[in-house]
Amino acid sequence: MAAIALIWPRPSQTLEWMNLLYDRRLDNRYTVQFSSGTHVGFSHERGQLPCGKFVDQEEIEILRNYGPLLEQIGEALTSYAQPSDETKRPNLMNALFLSLWWFHEACREPLDQIAVTKFAASMDALVKGQDAHAILRFIEARTGIGPKDTLITTGLTTEKVMDKIYGKGRSQLIHGSSKDFSHDWSEPRAIAEVVGRMCLVEACGWMAQNGSIDCVEALSER
């Protein structure tokens, strides 16, 4: 479901629309109130009504266009679900699965700064957990956007975006040196989601064109 959600610009919203069973509260909730040992009230409510993302003909065509992405992730999921079977590209499939796993967890995370950390982990998986500089090399190799180039519409360069996501967002939080954890992290979270999605889509595009290569480092080569 996370792979399908990558087709939309905001995968986290799409996952909410999908409304999978494990994402919901209990369908029916019963509440009983007591006071001084006496039963004083009883209520019942539905935890969450069914909902979904409407898919029209145009979006069906978009699904077809994203076939290469879904094929790569399908291969990664197969290698995870059937670990005893031989995998043609075990190194790349392992990296792709871990990246998608962290991306899904980030999308469903209720706390913004922790979500940023998980999006950073999703990018990290595509560069074998090296560092922010490795992610910058990956982005430049796959998109042509350099560290000093503008990455998002607000004017931030790739370097500054990665410092916000990986430096202040991930590293400082994990190592206990974060001083701005009480700040509003909703905007960095949205940026991290956009960049994380871009990395996954670009990685899958490269894998689809280079089916004989099984080297994670090659993802960051031009």
Decide which of 29 and 142 is more confident: 142
Q: Is the separation of the CB atoms in 122 and 155 below 8 Å?
A: no
Chain segment 179-192, per-residue pLDDT in tens: 666 677 899 899 99
Report the pLDDT averaged over residues 168-186: 69
Average pLDDT over every residue of 136-151:
96
What H or E segment, with its residue span, contains residue 43? strand 38-46
CA distance 140 to 118: 21
The pLDDT value recorded for residue 196 is: 96
> pLDDT band at residue 152, thresholds of 50, 70 and 90?
confident
**Which range (14-18, 141-145, 172-176) has the least confidence?**
172-176
Considering just the CA atoms, what is the radius of gyration of the chain in Å?
20
Per-residue DSSP letter, 150: B
How confident is the model over 38-75, as pLDDT tens digits?
A: 666 767 666 555 555 566 777 778 778 888 899 999 99
- For 74-127, what is each residue's pLDDT tens digit? 999 998 888 788 889 999 999 999 999 999 999 999 889 899 999 999 999 999
More confident residue, 189 or 34: 189
Task: Report the C-alpha gap between 93 and 78 in whole angstroms.
Answer: 9
* Region 141-158 average pLDDT: 93
Checking if the pLDDT of 33 tops 70, the result is: yes
**Mean pLDDT, all residues of the chain:** 85
Under the banding of pLDDT at 50, 70 and 90, the label for residue 24 is: low
HSE-up (13 A, CA, CB side) for residue 145: 19
Question: For residue 77, what pLDDT is reported?
Answer: 92
pLDDT of 38 reads 64
Residue 8 carries which DSSP code? S
Read off the pLDDT of each residue in 131-136 and give the average, rounded to a whole number. 93
What pLDDT, on the 0 to 100 scale, is given for residue 1?
A: 85
What does pTM read for this prediction? 0.81
Average pLDDT for 208-216: 96
- At 25, the pLDDT band (50, 70, 90 cuts) reads low
Under DSSP, the state recorded for 147 is T
